[in-house]
Structure 1
Amino acid sequence: MKINTSYFGEVEIDSKEVISFEQGLPGFLDEKEFVLLSFDEPLAFQVLQSINTEALAFIVVFPFDFKKEYRVDLNDQILEQLSIKSEEEVLILSIVTLKDHLTNSTANLQAPIVVNRHSRLGKQYIMHQSNYSTKEKIFNSSNVKGEK
């Protein structure tokens, strides 16, 4: 199927790749179907694109790429909602806020996107009892080449 996207124009997607958010996303409750698209560049950023609304796209990143000790403890309710049976089924993404200077960009580690890789069900999981913030720096002196 073809969809119009914010970052890539019109693209062909496989309907098997659509991620269903049965409850939508906070602030976008009517948006229930998204697809994960990759940039051609070597950066770890991807796009979580609504398949129905061209202008609705979130830049996302794998939080473990920049915060190795990051932990998401999924409760029984979300495991059931997403039909998660094993750790291998889980994909965790964080929504990024891009800044004018890329090295100042942040990621929301308090409310990750959780996706079951097999069932293609997803949910934004808000961790209320968390030491993480909604604005965790992605880049620091130890993971950005050329920074001092």
Structure 2
Amino acid sequence: MNIATKYHGEIDINPAEILTFEKGIPGFAEEKKFVLLPLSEDDFFYVLQSLATEGLAFIVTNPFHFFTAYDFKLEDSVVEELSLESEKDVLVYSILTVQDPFEKTTANLQAPIIINSKNNKAKQVILHDDNYNTKHPIFEKAETKG
């Protein structure tokens, strides 16, 4: 299946890899079908590309690469909505706000993308946890010594 993408031009994707956001993504309720494409060869950064809108693509990453203590519990309603049967089926991504320079890039830890790897159902979940916000720097700040 050919699709037009924001970062990769026109590419062929496997229909089995299409992610379905049944209720869309907050702010993009009409956008229900996406595909995850590699952005870098190091498996750290990906593009969450809309199938319907060529110019709609989010840069995402596995937040555990950058935030090893990141932890949250999914509400039962989310587990049911995504038909999750095991923790092993859960993939977690955070949407990045890419900055210039790249070292200032931040991750949205308050609203992770949750994917059921078995059925490709996905949802952006809003966490009700005061420890997380929408702009966590992904690179540690160098301490200044004085």
Report the 3-state secondary structure (helix = DSSP H, G, I; strand = E; otherwise coil) of the residue aligned with 2:131. Answer: coil
- 1:122 is matched with 122
Matched, 1:132 2:127: no
Runs of 4+ more than 3 Å apart: none
Which is further off, 3-12 or 130-139? 130-139
* Aligned-pair Cα RMSD in Å: 1.5
1:1-148 equivalence runs, <5 A: 1-42=1-42, 44-141=44-141
Q: CA deviation at 1:130?
A: 3.4
Could you list the per-position Cα deviations for residues 25-81 of structure 1 after superposition, in whole angstroms to 9, with x for gaps in the alignment? 000000000000002432611000001110000000100000001012101000000
- The normalised TM-score by structure 1 is 0.93
Report the 3-state secondary structure (helix = DSSP H, G, I; strand = E; otherwise coil) of the residue aligned with 2:79. Answer: helix
Report the 3-state secondary structure (helix = DSSP H, G, I; strand = E; otherwise coil) of the residue aligned with 1:123. Answer: strand
Consecutive unaligned residues in structure 2, runs of 5 or more: none
Closer, same or farther in 2 for the Cα pair 1:99/1:40, shift >3 Å?
A: closer
Aligned residues: 143
Return the letter of the residue paired with 2:122.
G
Contact preservation (8 Å) 2:40, 2:46: no
Report the 3-state secondary structure (helix = DSSP H, G, I; strand = E; otherwise coil) of the residue aligned with 1:10. Answer: strand
Report the 3-state secondary structure (helix = DSSP H, G, I; strand = E; otherwise coil) of the residue aligned with 1:52. Answer: coil
- 1:145 is matched with none
Closer, same or farther in 2 for the Cα pair 1:19/1:43, shift >3 Å?
A: closer
Q: CA deviation at 1:128?
A: 1.8
Q: CA deviation at 1:129?
A: 2.8
Q: CA deviation at 1:141?
A: 4.7
- The normalised TM-score by structure 2 is 0.94
Could you list the per-position Cα deviations for residues 71-103 of structure 1 after superposition, in whole angstroms to 9, with x for gaps in the alignment? 121010000000001000000000000001111
Identity in percent: 49
